[in-house]
Amino acid sequence: MSDLPVANTAVANAAVANAAPSSLTGLLVPLADRNLLLPNVAVAELITYRAPHPVDGLPSWYLGQVAWRDLRLPLLSFEAASDGQAEVSPGARVIVINALGGRPNVKFFALLVQGIPRSLKVGSDLKRLDVPLAPLELDAVDLGDAHARIPDLVALEQKLADSGLI
């Protein structure tokens, strides 16, 4: 009899642990020509934009390297990588992205952004937009007061690898 409450508690805890969350925290990231929606955990840090040291002969989406915490990170323009143009506005910043590709020597890379990302809760009722997607975009969503694109961060990291930049 004394095992019953423990067993019921364990079952209840397992059910709670396996339940899908009703919302996630995301970041609405402003770019020059669109907004990206990223999970909060994908971003390691937001840093001040410093002009990177460009290297001749590399793709237009690769802007150079930026210094961050004793590391040199590749800085990318998402817009240029997905068939747009790189642009640096007066409010430009850099977000450091946690690498997801499983490469032991690549833990982070950086994206140029055009302002300060805004934190928001994203629920399961998120509305998809029926719009053409650019390369490196997985989906488009309506956030009520804004539209956003969901980037393929793994494919972006693979693009770096395919170009021999990581």
The tens digit of pLDDT for each residue in 136-162 reads 999 999 998 889 999 999 999 999 999
Among 33, 41, 76, CA closest to 58 = 76
What pLDDT was estimated at residue 18? 52
Residues with pLDDT less than 50, the chain? 1-17
Q: How many residues does the chain have?
A: 166
Among 30, 40, 162, CA closest to 98 = 40
Return the SS3 of 153. Answer: helix
What pLDDT was estimated at residue 21? 63
Whole-number Å distance between alpha carbons of 86 and 83: 10
What CATH number is given to the structural domain containing 100? Answer: 2.40.50.180
What pLDDT was estimated at residue 14? 44
For residue 139, the enclosing domain spans 23-162
Q: How many domains does the chain have?
A: 1
Whole-number Å distance between alpha carbons of 113 and 66: 14
1 within some domain? no
Whole-number Å distance between alpha carbons of 106 and 147: 31
Whole-number Å distance between alpha carbons of 37 and 13: 31
Whole-number Cα distances in Å, 131 to 103, 134, 139, 140, 141: 33, 10, 9, 7, 9
Global confidence as pTM? 0.82
